[in-house]
C-alpha cells in the first residue's frame, strides 16, 4: 500500500473531474490491495460519488500508468457506525470483494475503523442496485491478521428493462 504521487493524483482528479476540495480531508489517494491493486479515492460527498462520469479508455490508460487495476471511490457515511458508500470505476475491473478488502486494509492502516466492529461497505444504493459487503477483522491477540468478508445477495429472475 502506498500514497499515489502528487503528479499521478492530479491526473486522477483531472480525469475524474474531481477538485481537491471534493476529497475527504483526513485521507489521501492511495493504492492498496493484494493481487489486484486498486486506487482508493476518498470523497466528501455521496453526490459527487454518484455523479462521476467516465471515459473508459482514458481511465484505463491512467490506471495502467499508476499500476492500478481500477479506481475505488468512497465516502464515509457514518464514521462511528463504520458505514461507507463506494463505487468501483470503471466497473469492468476486478471483483468488488477485492476492492472492499483493499478499502478495509487502507482504513485499518490509517487507524480509521475499530477492528472490534463490523465495517459496512455499500454500493449502488442510489442507483437501485443495492449491495453491501460486511467485513469483520480477524484478530490474533491485539493484532489484526485478516478479515472475513460477507454480505447479502439477491437473486434476480426478471430482466431489468432500461437499466
The tens place of each residue's pLDDT in the chain, 163 residues long, gives 688 889 988 988 888 889 999 999 888 888 887 677 888 889 999 999 888 876 677 778 888 888 888 888 889 888 888 888 888 766 555 555 556 666 666 666 666 678 788 888 887 766 666 778 888 888 898 888 887 888 765 655 555 555 4
- Longest Cα–Cα distance of the chain, Å, equals 51
Q: Which CATH class is domain 2-115?
A: alpha beta
Nearest partner of 128 among 98, 156, 92, judged by Cα: 156
Helix axes 6-15, 56-65, angle to 10 degrees: 170
Domain boundaries in the chain? 2-115
State how far the Cα of 66 lies from the Cα of 62, in Å rounded to an integer: 7
Amino acid at each position: 500500500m502506498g500514497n499515489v504521487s502528487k503528479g499521478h493524483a492530479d491526473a486522477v482528479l483531472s480525469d475524474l473531474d474531481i477538485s481537491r476540495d471534493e476529497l475527504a480531508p483526513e485521507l489521501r489517494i492511495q493504492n492498496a490491495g493484494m493481487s489486484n491493486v486498486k486506487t482508493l479515492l476518498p470523497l466528501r460527498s455521496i453526490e459527487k460519488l454518484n455523479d462521476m462520469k467516465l471515459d473508459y479508455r482514458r481511465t484505463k490508460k491512467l490506471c495502467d500508468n499508476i499500476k492500478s487495476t481500477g479506481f475505488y471511490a468512497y465516502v464515509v457515511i457514518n464514521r462511528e457506525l463504520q458505514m461507507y458508500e463506494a463505487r468501483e470505476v470503471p466497473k469492468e475491473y476486478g471483483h468488488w470483494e477485492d476492492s472492499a478488502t483493499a478499502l478495509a486494509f487502507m482504513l485499518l492502516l490509517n487507524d480509521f475503523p475499530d477492528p472490534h466492529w463490523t465495517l459496512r461497505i455499500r454500493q449502488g444504493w442510489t442507483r437501485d442496485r443495492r449491495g453491501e459487503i460486511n467485513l469483520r477483522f480477524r484478530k490474533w491477540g491485539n493484532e489484526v491478521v485478516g478479515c472475513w468478508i460477507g454480505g447479502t445477495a439477491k437473486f434476480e429472475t426478471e430482466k431489468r428493462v432500461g437499466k
